[in-house]
Amino acid sequence: MSDMQSVRLDSWIWAVRLFKTRSAAAAACRGGHVRVNGTPAKAGQRIGPDDEIRLRVDGLEKIVVVVRIVAKRVGAPVAAECMIDRSPPPPPKEVLASQPRRDRGAGRPTKRERRDLDRLRGLAL
């Protein structure tokens, strides 16, 4: 751990184990799935303590607040101390099972269908 004041966004979200690889963290930033203090963030953006990070991982929204800056990947107990998790609880399994599913082989959803599905799941940022 270090006493730095700021660190790259992709490095920090990888270091606290929100993504398996740093390249996956950077790809999420490029794809617009990561926001810092309400604005879309690039992978190289510097973050510091008290910044709020919203990200979408596996279709679920996570909201974390930076408590401590780390540059190297740390163990799970230490990672839990570096952030405050303010994520909403995941939806119950009954709700997930009742959501409409596309037939296998039906092709990609259209943009309108994808927006409707995201709105239904509550994932629209």
pLDDT digits (tens, 9 = 90+) for 92-113: 777 666 666 767 777 888 899 8
> What band does 122 get if pLDDT is binned at 50, 70 and 90?
confident
78 and 23 assigned to the same domain = yes
23 and 68 assigned to the same domain = yes
Q: For 30-51, what is each residue's pLDDT tens digit?
A: 999 999 999 999 999 999 999 9
User: Has residue 67 got a pLDDT over 90?
Assistant: yes
Q: What is the pLDDT of residue 119?
A: 84
6 and 65 assigned to the same domain = yes
Q: Find the domain containing 123 and state its range.
A: 91-125
6 and 21 assigned to the same domain = yes
61 and 28 assigned to the same domain = yes
41 and 65 assigned to the same domain = yes
Number of Cβ atoms within 10 Å of the Cβ of 19 = 20
18 and 54 assigned to the same domain = yes
